[in-house]
Amino acid sequence: MKFPWFKRIGIFFIPATIAGWLILISAIAFAVYSFIDIDSRSHSASDTLMNFAFMCLIIGAVYSLIAYVTSRVNPPTP
């Protein structure tokens, strides 16, 4: 498997390979699904936005952890 999948620019990990793009697209798709799910259960716009922001932070934390682990360069083979 060819690493790194991501490269870091500031506080964001940008995909550098197809696998990285797949992870980013999955994260965005999950965020959209969460928004629809939260919106169907909430009572006001602020309720939706506050819960969605919380969910976005959790998705961002998990995504950045995956990106960090897969953005390491392959160790040199002996």
Partner 1 sequence: MEKLNFEKKLKEMGKPEITQLKHEDLLSDSIINARDKSVVSWWWLSVPIFIILMLLMKSTFMPGTNLFSEMHELKSNQKLISIIFFLISPVILIVINTLTIRKIHFLSGSPKSFTFIGVVWFNLLTIVVSAFILIIYSF
Instruction: Name residues contacting partner 1, limited to 13-32 (CB under 8 A).
Output: 13
Q: Which of 8, 22, 25, 33 is in the footprint of partner 1 by CB under 8 A?
A: 8
The count of residues interacting with partner 1 (CB under 8 A) is 14
Window 32-71: residues binding partner 1 (CB under 8 A): 50, 53-54, 57-58, 60-61, 64-65, 68, 71
Task: Classify 9 in phi/psi space as left (phi over 0), alpha (psi -120 to 50) or beta.
Answer: beta
Q: By CB under 8 A, name the one of 1, 2, 11, 30 that touches partner 1.
A: 11
Angstrom distances, CA of residue 32 to CA of 17, 19, 28, 62: 23, 20, 6, 16
